[in-house]
Structure 1
Amino acid sequence: MFSFTKNTITQLLSNNTKWLEKQQTSINSAAAVIAMANILSILSGFIRTRVILSYFNEETVTAWTLAFQIPDMLFQLLVFGTLSASFIPIFLSVKRKNDEQTAFKMSSIVLNILMLIFAIASVIIYFYAEPLTLARVGDKLSSEQLSIVINLTKTMLLAQIFFTVSNVMTGILQSYKRFIVPSIAPIIYNFGIIAGVAIFHKTFGIYSAGIGVVFGALMHIIVQVPLAFKLGYKPTFSLNINFPGVKKLFLLSPARFLTIGVSHVQTLALGYFATSIGQLSFLYISYATYLSVFPVRLFGVPLSQAALPFLSQQSGKENLEKFRDLILQSLNQISFLAMPTSVLLLILRVPIVRLAFGTDNFSWHSTITTGKILAILAISITAQAMVQLLIRGFHALKDTRTPLIISVIFTAFYLVGSFAVVNYTNFGILGLAVISCVSFLVELLMYIIIFNKFMPNFISKSLLVPQLKILSASFFMAIFLYLPFRIFDELIFNTTKTIELIALTLTTGTIGMLVYIYFAAIFEIKELKLVNKAIRSFGQKWKSDENRTQEFLIETSVDDDLV
């Protein structure tokens, strides 16, 4: 029976979909795949948001946004905290020490245990959804909004159970350096939500979006399962905690669990403080945050995800100098790509907000307020992107304690600052944005200082000189971006029309990027050559790998005593 099922699933991967199976054998190629898919995922996310805003008013969408918090926190704590940093090193270590089928069995047992824990936690959350919601929101929400938050929270718990399965599949595929399919899955998820809203909005109202979330999460699984089966994965119905690698995986989880838990304290606090300021304040800062994490998802996350197996390889040797050099090289690449994007968001904040969320249900006041928040958050974008890599650097060194300590300090700083802003100033939601921005900058500073203690000469010319050059090029970009933007906006383009708004954004954005590239060349920023080389060689490498059959798996540095 199982053999028939497996054969049926693997047949779904025909010769026409071989590109989905391609293995990425370097950080840049893997990061490029993830980044390209992230662009599509972000664009599909914008479409999803516009569809929801076009059907429902701002108050209802605020409630929809708040409803994600508890289900997402539960998933992040129980599932992502277990899998995010430890799964790939341990999976490959079990595979190396034993065999491939043992590694697959380990992953299946981990999935079974996570599913059991998550199911129990979901039942508890379901019955206590109302008191949990009342405890985490301020006094500015209406009774109707509260009802929507509670009911959608219950609905979306089912989606997170599906995500538990799909994230184990993601870990398996990324262990084999198959990044394409896991990167496509979030796009399918977004279109699942869009389909749910488009089909059921007249019948179920905003709850149609909840139906879409469940459907999209199911598709998130379906798109990854065929390749996982083709690689050799077989489900095993066992809860054997003593199986090789299983116990070690869960023993490594508490520190990561606490780190994510601390970060979600900040997320919940943001919801509480924002809903204490105004009925729509949480919507404004959520949408601004959504835009501000675009460069983080586009550059910071892909490079960091792709770097983890390679960092693990270097950390397992008696040569931390290569590890340090790899960290520094990746940091400079992230900064080179993220900083100009943050400048674009800073200067072009209003047209970007209008293009992303400008429906009839999103007012001009909402656009301006969201744009102001985005401008503040844009200052910290590069810091957020760089932190993604530094966190994984510590994980590659099998150190989860340091990120936890930094997260505690970071969150404490944020909580104290937010409490002071809300209760003792009139800065409102802009004050919360300032606190968030400063907190991210402080977090980056702490990571760099501590990394320098682990690795002498980490803070050196190799880090400071490229960062100074990138900052200088970004400064000139900002100047030459702002001037044509003001001129074109007032004298040439009629930005009340969507087409001309797009033309204004593309024209001025292109000018800004060309100026950035020009000054990057003037300052001889090495990362410009690396990016240019990566772009030129990516297509050639893609074609040259078409007929390659030899696997190029980079072993991790996980010690044998891990399993």
Structure 2
Amino acid sequence: MQTDKPKDREAGLLRSSAVVGLMTMLSRIMGLARDVVVAGYFGAGSSADAFFVAFKIPNFLRRLFAEGAFAQAFVPVLSEYRTQRDLNAVKALIDRVAGTLGGILIMVTVVAVTAAPVITALFAPGFYLNDSQKFALAVDMLRLTFPYLLLISLTAFAGSILNSYGRFAVPAVTPVFLNASLIGAAIFLSPLFDPPVLALAWGVMIAGVTQLIFQLPFLARLALLPRPIWGWGDEGVRRIMKLMLPALFGVSVTQISLLLDTVLASFLQTGSVSWLYYSDRLSELPLGVFGIAIATVILPSLSRKHAAQSPQAFSDTLNWALQLVLLIGVPAALALLCLAEPLLITLFHYGAMQERDVWMAGMSLRAYACGLVAFMLIKVLATGYFSRQDTKTPVKIGLQAVAANMALNLLLIGPLQHVGLAAATSLSAFLNAGLLLLGLRKLGILTWSAGWGAHLLRLLLANLALAGWVLWQVAPATEWFEMDVWQRVLNMTWLVGTGVLLYLLVLVTCGLRLHHLRQH
């Protein structure tokens, strides 16, 4: 049987991860620019709180459903079709998945827009009980933002196909359009609306349309542009749906935890939702650029190695991914811990963002930073299960982590307020990552490769040097408030640039070489 296999050798995973990371870095830089603009125009007041809730609901469902459960269920099945079946079977699967996915999402969107007050009350009960004006504004914006779920889910479907065929750059750069749209909406459209924040909700809608249209020509080049067909009874579609149901929890436990933070924060003082949003955005920069990039690249590779019955190659790939996560995640977490307020001041302390907002967001940023490595490990470790089409194990572990997170939320919210919510999320992430790791080890899927001891020693020495240097060089936050924008940018560039150079110098001095990072 003629199968749909690429003619050329597959690119190395490090190279592919670098491409995804570079494109995602561009997107995240635009995301930071977006947040700078939003903070300057709307700060952390009632209207900002209302928008962040209205945006978080479809964004949460997007991560849970489209980029989470759907991608983790669809890519392994598509990879199996590519490996074991002909091109016509691959095209038929794509057409039926497109029709079924689109049909379900249209129905969900219609129901959600109609029931926007109920959904808003569920996700932000504090607004409903304590602030009717903020609640009404959030409802109005949700009716505009929720269709984004339909559009971005179809975009994620197209991106999953492109990723499976080694076209990682296009899906990785697509989020740039969301950030550009929101920046344009804040600057050019907000003066036309009353209240001005409604412009951001329209910006979300415009972004969804743009992102979907952008990817279609690249699918056409692969001759895989879908012709949607309702395919609920198709064998491949039913397999994907069966894998998706448990994956809804298994891959997106972190997002569920962050959503619980928003629900509980709606009961706290005004600004709490925004403080958590800004601190979460900074912690997501390294998570998105590196953690998600690595997981995105290894999913098709692991799926093919599992289909080809290559357990040693499968384990080697997981080892490579875990080492790379620690190499990048630990120093990123240390940087966020040491530079929390300076980073927030440099990026957001303009216009409507007040000094108190910086201090409050800085505390929750440190709490999220403590769990950054765990967040990144979850992305990689969960992929080890999903690539084997095992979605039940991660969901069991995920439910335990969610339960722990809720218990910790209730325990810590009283004494620590919004910071307690962030700390609970980080603690539950470590529980989740630890249980995923133990499961892979117990099943014999992951066996430690040679060189882990030397790798950990290099990491320890390099991160100690990095932390010491940054703490020695950084000025107190009170001085950063007095700096103008260029002084802030130059000082932050100096701290980050010299810190990265010192970190790399210690790693190389301790024996790290480029071939240690390669995986084929």
Q: Please give the TM-score of this superposition, normalised by the length of structure 1.
A: 0.84
User: Counterpart amino acid of 1:233?
Assistant: L
Question: Residue by residue, what CA displacement relative to the aligned partner does 1:66-114 show, whole Å, maximum 9, x if unpaired?
Answer: 1123323444455445531122232233344443243123212211111
Note if contact 2:79-2:300 (Cα within 8 Å) is conserved in structure 1: no
Residue pairs, 1:479-490, within 5 angstroms: 479-486=468-475
3-state DSSP of counterpart to 1:276: coil
Residue pairs, 1:252-331, within 5 angstroms: 252-259=243-250, 265-331=256-322
The answer to whether the aligner puts 1:180 opposite 2:174 as a matched pair is no
User: In structure 2, how many angstroms separate the alpha carbons of the residues matched to 1:456 and 1:56?
Assistant: 49
User: In structure 2, how many angstroms separate the alpha carbons of the residues matched to 1:517 and 1:238?
Assistant: 52
Note if contact 2:465-2:503 (Cα within 8 Å) is conserved in structure 1: yes
* Greater Rg by CA: 1
Q: Which one of 419, 434, 455 corresponds to residue 466 of structure 1?
A: 455
Distance 1:317 1:168, change over 3 A: closer
> How many pairs were matched up?
508
User: In structure 2, how many angstroms separate the alpha carbons of the residues matched to 1:139 and 1:312?
Assistant: 43
Residue pairs, 1:399-438, within 5 angstroms: 399-422=390-413, 425-438=414-427
User: In structure 2, how many angstroms separate the alpha carbons of the residues matched to 1:409 and 1:427?
Assistant: 23
User: In structure 2, how many angstroms separate the alpha carbons of the residues matched to 1:436 and 1:380?
Assistant: 8
Of the structure 1 ranges 440-449 and 498-507, higher mean CA displacement relative to structure 2 is found in 440-449
Distance 1:314 1:513, change over 3 A: same
Of the structure 1 ranges 498-507 and 23-32, higher mean CA displacement relative to structure 2 is found in 23-32
Give ranges in structure 1 of 5+ residues lacking alignment: 1-21, 535-553, 555-563
Note if contact 1:76-1:260 (Cα within 8 Å) is conserved in structure 2: no
Residue pairs, 1:56-205, within 5 angstroms: 56-59=42-45, 60-139=47-126, 142-204=131-193, 205=196
Note if contact 2:76-2:389 (Cα within 8 Å) is conserved in structure 1: no
Q: Which one of 468, 488, 491 corresponds to residue 501 of structure 1?
A: 488
User: In structure 2, how many angstroms separate the alpha carbons of the residues matched to 1:328 and 1:472?
Assistant: 21
Of the structure 1 ranges 455-464 and 400-409, higher mean CA displacement relative to structure 2 is found in 455-464
Q: Which one of 375, 380, 388 corresponds to residue 371 of structure 2?
A: 380
User: Counterpart amino acid of 1:516?
Assistant: Y
Question: Residue by residue, what CA displacement relative to the aligned partner does 1:211-241 show, whole Å, maximum 9, x if unpaired?
Answer: 1111111110121111101110243242133
User: Counterpart amino acid of 1:102?
Assistant: A
Partner of 1:543: none
Distance 1:257 1:139, change over 3 A: closer
Distance 1:436 1:529, change over 3 A: same
User: In structure 2, how many angstroms separate the alpha carbons of the residues matched to 1:488 and 1:365?
Assistant: 12
User: In structure 2, how many angstroms separate the alpha carbons of the residues matched to 1:169 and 1:385?
Assistant: 24
Question: Residue by residue, what CA displacement relative to the aligned partner does 1:3-22 show, whole Å, maximum 9, x if unpaired?
Answer: xxxxxxxxxxxxxxxxxxx9
Note if contact 2:440-2:446 (Cα within 8 Å) is conserved in structure 1: no
Question: Residue by residue, what CA displacement relative to the aligned partner does 1:22-58 show, whole Å, maximum 9, x if unpaired?
Answer: 9972211211111011111111111112222222242
User: In structure 1, how many angstroms separate the alpha carbons of the residues matched to 2:449 and 2:165?
Assistant: 35
User: In structure 2, how many angstroms separate the alpha carbons of the residues matched to 1:81 and 1:301?
Assistant: 11
Question: Residue by residue, what CA displacement relative to the aligned partner does 1:440-487 show, whole Å, maximum 9, x if unpaired?
Answer: 222222222222102287367644552343133212210121112239
User: Counterpart amino acid of 1:480?
Assistant: W
1:344 shift after superposition: 1.6
Note if contact 2:283-2:369 (Cα within 8 Å) is conserved in structure 1: yes
Q: Which one of 201, 217, 225 corresponds to residue 216 of structure 2?
A: 225
3-state DSSP of counterpart to 1:50: helix
Distance 1:88 1:245, change over 3 A: same
The answer to whether the aligner puts 1:26 opposite 2:12 as a matched pair is yes
User: Counterpart amino acid of 1:249?
Assistant: I
3-state DSSP of counterpart to 1:512: helix
Distance 1:78 1:350, change over 3 A: closer
Distance 1:297 1:327, change over 3 A: same
Of the structure 1 ranges 135-144 and 497-506, higher mean CA displacement relative to structure 2 is found in 135-144
Note if contact 1:23-1:178 (Cα within 8 Å) is conserved in structure 2: no
3-state DSSP of counterpart to 1:486: coil
Of the structure 1 ranges 203-212 and 407-416, higher mean CA displacement relative to structure 2 is found in 203-212
Partner of 1:9: none
User: In structure 2, how many angstroms separate the alpha carbons of the residues matched to 1:462 and 1:108?
Assistant: 45
User: Counterpart amino acid of 1:433?
Assistant: A
3-state DSSP of counterpart to 1:151: helix
1:433 shift after superposition: 2.1
Distance 1:456 1:65, change over 3 A: closer
Distance 1:434 1:37, change over 3 A: same
RMSD (Å) for aligned C-alpha atoms: 2.6
Partner of 1:38: 24
User: In structure 1, how many angstroms separate the alpha carbons of the residues matched to 2:477 and 2:202?
Assistant: 43
User: In structure 1, how many angstroms separate the alpha carbons of the residues matched to 2:292 and 2:506?
Assistant: 26
Residue pairs, 1:326-405, within 5 angstroms: 326-405=317-396
Note if contact 2:73-2:247 (Cα within 8 Å) is conserved in structure 1: no
The answer to whether the aligner puts 1:210 opposite 2:201 as a matched pair is yes
User: Counterpart amino acid of 2:162?
Assistant: L
Q: Please give the TM-score of this superposition, normalised by the length of structure 2.
A: 0.91
1:404 shift after superposition: 0.6
